[in-house]
């Protein structure tokens, strides 16, 4: 269980990191970001985050994840589009009108507000 992170919950930088069967929630930005390498993101429950999974570079495998109540689902940017493998992910974005904030004491950071 990984939660209550101000920015990203898990970050892979040029590695073969395996992110398997986690519960990721309340991530102020993305729950998982991939910046190169051949990461495997499988079987995770991701919820209540700005974005679920963001792939900037690399050739990850992203499959079997359940994403709910996030401002964005799975974003794969152009440098990584050719090598990314996607399959069997369930994505349910936050409904229109949803406003989510990440809070620590009196500090509040608005993660997203869906129109």
pLDDT tens across 49-80, in order?
Answer: 889 999 999 999 999 999 999 988 999 998 88
Lateral strand order in the sheet of 10-12: 10-12, 30-35, 51-57, 72-76
- Alpha carbons 70 and 49: distance in angstroms, whole number: 5
Contact 65, 53 (CB under 8 A): yes
What pTM was estimated for this model as a whole? 0.88
Cα angle 63, 64, 70; round to 5: 95
Q: What is the DSSP letter of 95?
A: P
pLDDT tens across 4-59, in order?
Answer: 887 789 998 888 899 999 999 988 889 999 999 999 999 999 998 889 999 999 99
Contact 11, 35 (CB under 8 A): yes
Does 81 have pLDDT greater than 90? no
């Amino acid at each position: 269980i990984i939660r209550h992170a101000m920015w990203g919950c898990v970050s892979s930088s040029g590695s073969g990191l395996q992110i398997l069967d986690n519960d990721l929630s309340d991530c102020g930005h993305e729950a998982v970001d991939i910046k190169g390498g051949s990461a495997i993101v499988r079987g995770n429950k991701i919820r209540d985050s700005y974005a679920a999974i963001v792939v900037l570079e690399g050739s990850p495998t992203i499959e079997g994840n359940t994403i709910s109540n996030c401002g964005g689902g799975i974003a794969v940017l152009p440098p990584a589009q050719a090598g990314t493998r996607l399959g069997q992910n369930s994505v349910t974005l936050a409904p229109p009108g949803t406003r989510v904030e990440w809070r620590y004491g009196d500090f509040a950071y608005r993660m997203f507000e869906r129109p």
